[in-house]
Structure 1
Amino acid sequence: MTREREITEPVDLCLPNGRLNPAAVGWSRRPVHRANLRGWGRNKRWEYWGIVTPSHIVGLVASSLDYAGVHGLYLLDRATKVEIDRNAVVPFARGTLFPPASGAGAVRANGGGLSIDIAQAASGTTIRASAPGLEVDLVVPLPAGHEALGVVVPWSTRRFQYTVKDVGRPVRGTLLVDGVEHQVAEADSFAVLDHGRGRWPYAIRWNWAAGSAPGRAIQLGGRWTDGTGSTENGLVVDGRLHKIGDELRWEYDRTDWLRPWRISGERVAVEFHPFHEKIARTNLGVLANETHQCFGHFTGWAATDDGDRVDLAGLVGWAEEARNRW
């Protein structure tokens, strides 16, 4: 178990010299960090939104790696398993816009026929994205009192990451798939945000799992945080975040990604049952990535701060392994 400090007041991620601000290390229930990154070449900035509806799963990412913008828009038809996967790599991340704080300001990315436009405000977020064969027009309201997990992960004073994992958000709007409109209703759909700002090591591997159902959501991570004193694990019940300080054990079969995954710790005993695997590979020499993201259902439990075990049966989401050279 880690012993992490809860941060409740606004704080800069970096010192004036660009190194990690010691006062920024910890976790929060709402976005309080300002990512005042300096320099060039190792900075990573991204916004990833994952949306699950009864009929579709959508993933969109806008990112800047300083020397490249890597953007994507993905859709899975849950009934037919047909995928639409549009990606763009833009030299020097031209045309991207990222605000320094999560939940406020605009995010924009364009390239290769792909357009992403995200507007963030206190009331919620509007997401508009388009690519050949696919248009996304969504509103993600921010319910009163809803809490999200913010964490600073310190590898060193020169290498560090600030992440906000916001799970179980309501979402509504439309998906236009090959000219056919699909409604997204708040009653049975949810959105998950991964907001990232930091200065990363060149090679890294991570695990991430997120799942939601009405009134319950889970956020679990691993590998990239091991040994740093920080974790990105949390349980959300009726909008209230319960921070979990376990360094979790991840067990899965890299020869058969669709076999059940097991994720466990002192306050977590989760089994994840995939129904689809999304594979993403990039190899541009200095930049390379391989991600296996599986969509599926959760069972098991996670414990609140008071020790009550919350049943996770019925949660839908994903679990993934990513390996990056960037």
Structure 2
Amino acid sequence: MSAEIRYTSPWPVLDARGRPNPGWADEGLFRYDRRAIKTAPWRIKEWDFYQVSDAEFCLQFTFGHAAYAGNVGCMLFDFKNGVRWAVPDKLLALPFGSLHLPASANDDSRLAYRAKGIEMTLETKGGVRELFAAGPGFEARVTLLPTTGKCLSIVVPFSEKPTAFYANQKNNCMAAEGYVAWQAGGKALRHEFRQNAWGILDWGRGVWPFSNEWYWSNGAGLINGHPFGFNLGCGFGDTSRATENVLFYGGARHKLGPVQFVLDKSNYMAPWRLRDTEGRLDLTLTPWYDRTTRTKLLWVDNECHQMFGRFTGTAVLDDGTALAVTDLISFAEHARNNW
């Protein structure tokens, strides 16, 4: 029997001692209060990360910080042809809490940054999300609309440090519509996000141990004419009472237990296999693009392989219905961090 704890009413991320209240919910029910954190302020990490993709391009918006360093910027890449384009990006020194990220992923909010030719706004209003970024020779504007009333929220503790925690929310299966325009080689280029373009929100707040590792995968598409999506992850913290593993189909949430990522770390381009421990999920990712990011500066040493490709396999809903997943384009990633 699962030991996961499900919440159906609002609950605080941290108790009066600054220790996490672990569990999960399929709505944004937890309340995050950075004033309740009982640790050094330079250990706090907060971010809002959006990804918009279709069969050709991927656009990412990042607004966040790890207290002593922050980032506001975009990334655009053509993952089918392996081309990454220059986009507005700003590294911030010692931002701490100055970015004023919201305490909830679902409340109406507006994040804005404008300096030295770079502008970004991430606005949530009534469940609709408007993303905008601009810089020299670049502009992106995307609207994200929910196709399901469900999301997945988790609070995960870390056994090695009682006041460490990870509060996270994934909003999946958001229909994306908009454009990105940029200059390259003296040419004006433009890509429209329209049919079968999807957006996700990765909303994170927490205090992590210095060294950590994670596996994450998220995807969305259409099966039998209905929006289908998944969020899968493992490797970080004590997930015995809350995992982020879930399926979405036709507006409903279908919770999964632990999931394994089977891959060849000496060859990330080899097929990945993602499967759960209860026989409800078996997906194979055939990668075509390795979006590798590395950061090594002073004590910070991070590396992430985000693999884009096609997913094929089966996913079983709560009522036993088996869905065939065929050539769904998305990603899985493996990250190791010292930060």
TM-score relative to the length of structure 2: 0.87
Task: Name the residue aligned to 2:43.
Answer: 42
Matched, 1:159 2:172: no
Name the CA distance, whole Å, in 2 between partners of 1:14 and 1:251.
33
Task: Name the residue aligned to 2:84.
Answer: 83
Task: Name the residue aligned to 1:15.
Answer: 15
Matched, 1:276 2:281: no
Amino acid of the structure 2 residue aligned with 1:76: F
Task: Name the residue aligned to 1:262.
Answer: 273
Q: Counterparts of 1:1-326 in structure 2 under 5 Å?
A: 2-20=2-20, 22=21, 25-38=22-35, 39=37, 40-84=41-85, 86=87, 87-93=89-95, 96-104=99-107, 105-109=109-113, 114-143=118-147, 145-156=148-159, 157-178=162-183, 179-185=188-194, 187-214=195-222, 215-225=227-237, 228-246=240-258, 248-265=259-276, 266=278, 267-326=280-339
Name the CA distance, whole Å, in 1 between partners of 2:198 and 2:59.
11
Q: CA deviation at 1:211?
A: 1.1
Q: Percent identity?
A: 27
Classify 1:42/1:228 alpha carbon distance in 2 versus 1 (closer, same or farther; 3 Å).
farther
Name the CA distance, whole Å, in 1 between partners of 2:31 and 2:140.
28
Q: Is the 8 A contact 1:129 1:137 kept in 2?
A: yes
Amino acid of the structure 1 residue aligned with 2:272: W
Q: Is the 8 A contact 2:220 2:328 kept in 1?
A: yes
Q: Is the 8 A contact 1:46 1:197 kept in 2?
A: yes
Name the CA distance, whole Å, in 1 between partners of 2:243 and 2:166.
12
Q: CA deviation at 1:90?
A: 0.8
Q: CA deviation at 1:116?
A: 2.8
Flag structure 1 segments of 5+ consecutive residues without an equivalent: none
Amino acid of the structure 2 residue aligned with 1:232: E
Q: Is the 8 A contact 2:120 2:133 kept in 1?
A: yes
Name the CA distance, whole Å, in 2 between partners of 1:112 and 1:242.
45
TM-score relative to the length of structure 1: 0.91
Classify 1:276/1:139 alpha carbon distance in 2 versus 1 (closer, same or farther; 3 Å).
same
Q: Is the 8 A contact 1:75 1:83 kept in 2?
A: yes
Name the CA distance, whole Å, in 1 between partners of 2:247 and 2:297.
37
SS at match of 1:315: strand
Q: CA deviation at 1:81?
A: 2.6
SS at match of 1:41: helix
Aligned residues: 320
Can you list the C-alpha shifts for 1:138-178, whole angstroms capped at 9, x where unaligned? 110124x5211111111154011111112211011111122
Amino acid of the structure 1 residue aligned with 2:197: S
Q: CA deviation at 1:208?
A: 0.4
